[in-house]
Amino acid sequence: MKLKVTRNYQITIPADIRKKMGIKLGNIVEALYDERNDEIIIKKIKEERKTLKTGRKLTPEEIEFLIEESMRKEIL
């Protein structure tokens, strides 16, 4: 399958490949370069980003507070 590189050097993972890999919005993928074969390998990272549903829009200050609180919990 051929992919076009945009002017920002981005590519889109085709829908059929996303479906086979189980990639959904918010998932994290890793791109590796195989020098021997001159290939790019894209892997789905098992960890998913945590989301928070509050039922309302958060202010930038509230978002910053939640990020800092989460980082403190990871350190402990």
- Domains of the chain, residue spans: 15-75
Q: What percentage of residues in the chain have a pLDDT greater than 70?
A: 89
Using alpha carbons only, how large is the chain's radius of gyration in Å? Answer: 17
pLDDT exceeds cutoff 90 at 66 = no
Burial class (CB in 10 A: 0-12, 13-18, 19+), 55: exposed
* pLDDT, position 72: 79
Q: Cα(24)–Cα(72) distance, rounded to whole angstroms?
A: 28
Number of helices (H), then strands (E), in the chain? 2, 2
Does the predicted TM-score (pTM) go above 0.75?
A: no
For the beta carbon of residue 76, count every other beta carbon within 10 angstroms. Answer: 4
pLDDT digits (tens, 9 = 90+) for 32-53: 999 999 999 999 987 655 677 7
